[in-house]
A and B are shown apart, each in its own frame.
Chain A
């Protein structure tokens, strides 16, 4: 066994000497513009870029922390806990666009007259105190089929952050879980009484509908571009690419591309707000 390990080790060393590959992992939400940017850089600059979405945002953080990738993609702010887990890593967030987590419902819920949700109502659903849309303003009785985003997803963290302040403070609950964005949209669209958290850019208004959230002032706020840009909408979230220290080398090329005009076009194309829209 031992010579095998030595062999493995020496091969690994030889392998890393080749280097030159930019590795990216993380959120499926951020993946869309980044993967397309990577396609362009691969074609135009002959860069070697590998993109994966294992484990969502938390996968991006942990693989960057372990040094397995050079760039992480995250759809939430980095928490103190994340930093504490990797004290030797100088995480640097680069803001590339803005998105929001929408609470989406299926068409029948929307047609039943539920268009808004307050924070208290959202908590009640999450804690299982409310299980029928009628209690939330629905015209007729209809069970709530809540799909929870699986742990580790940026979307889930933004959601519980809004409700409870931090993932740790969130109560212990068990709902059917969903992972990817299309899986979420597909399952909500095909289930009566369905509710889930999803990136607002995926809420197409045809198959799934984004609820307006009612703030403390009693006014419903929809996840529109204007409301996200001004952070009126409570679950607005930044999209980041994450590096260890200031981006350098190939990572720098990628980050600069994403911040440049064409990169920002890609951010916009996938339904997120480019940085320019935020400054207005």
Chain B
């Protein structure tokens, strides 16, 4: 009887796991199958033609990469500063606790509010109009908590004896920070950034009011009035407006490319992320 119950319990859990994986893998499969016919070299090297029905998504890909690079560069110094503040400079426990709580809470804020915030501040107040920089900064804001949290975890994992040894050698605090703590933690910064970028790459809501348009933008030559094309916005627009049935395969193709980009970013981050998980949860 107890054995039977044990078996049933295990089976239910296994079925749940199978079902969850089946649903998730199933939808990736659907996208891959529908998007595959669009894949060829010219899809990546040509610009949009015939309002999305022909040509490729070169500038959408370029635009998304520009936004991600901007977000990464803008986010990094702030992430380092916040992580060092939490790990090194803040001495009081309650203050550190509140900083962490603020970070966790900010991490859960919806991306659309960042988008509208960016619209008010960058697009309107700064008078930039739709601009790649506005989009990059908005994405940087939305990924900052993730990057900082991962970096904090990594710095916390630096063995205390390294710090003690460095202090014993008479290094100043700021020297210890760069020569020991950060030196051991660059991987955490990269991992955190990759995770944040993987999420940022697929975001539509933060950039649709701040950075991206449907057609015609190429490489930005200024800050103001310099929008970019992006992959997610392309999908969002074509999902609502595609006159020509030929758009269909291009649309799924774009989704597949976006999925590929997101997966590459998180795949690059996963191994070291899981290592941290394992070490902390033995």
Contact = CB atoms under 8 A, between A and B. Distances in A.
Contact of B241 (A36, A51, A180): A180
Given A9-B126, A49-B216, A16 B225 contact: yes
A183 B241 contact: yes
B177 to A, nearest CB: 26
B214 A52 contact: yes
Interface in B120-143: 122, 125-130
Interface residues of A, number: 38
Interface stretch (A27-35, A163-171, A213-221): A27-35
A179 to B, nearest CB: 5
Interface in B27-52: 48-51
A53 B225 contact: no
Interface string B42-69: 0000001111000000000000000000
A183 B239 contact: yes
Which range contains the number of B residues in contact with the other chain? 20 to 34
Which among A11, A38, A181 has the highest number of chain B CB atoms within 10 Å?
A11
Interface string A48-59: 111111100000
B173 to A, nearest CB: 29
B224 A16 contact: yes
B240 to A, nearest CB: 3
B217 interface: yes
Given A202-B243, A270-B243, A50 B227 contact: yes
A9 B208 CA distance: 22
A141 interface: no
A8 B126 contact: yes
B213 A52 contact: yes
Contacts of A181: 240-241, 243
B237 interface: yes
B153 to A, nearest CB: 31
A13 B240 CA distance: 35
B127 A9 contact: yes
Interface of A: 5, 8-9, 11-18, 21, 23-25, 28, 31-32, 35-36, 38-39, 42, 48-54, 68, 179-183, 202, 270
8 contacts: A5-B126, A8-B126, A9-B127, A14-B224, A16-B224, A18-B222, A49-B216, A50-B227
Interface of B: 48-51, 122, 125-130, 208, 213-218, 221-227, 237-243
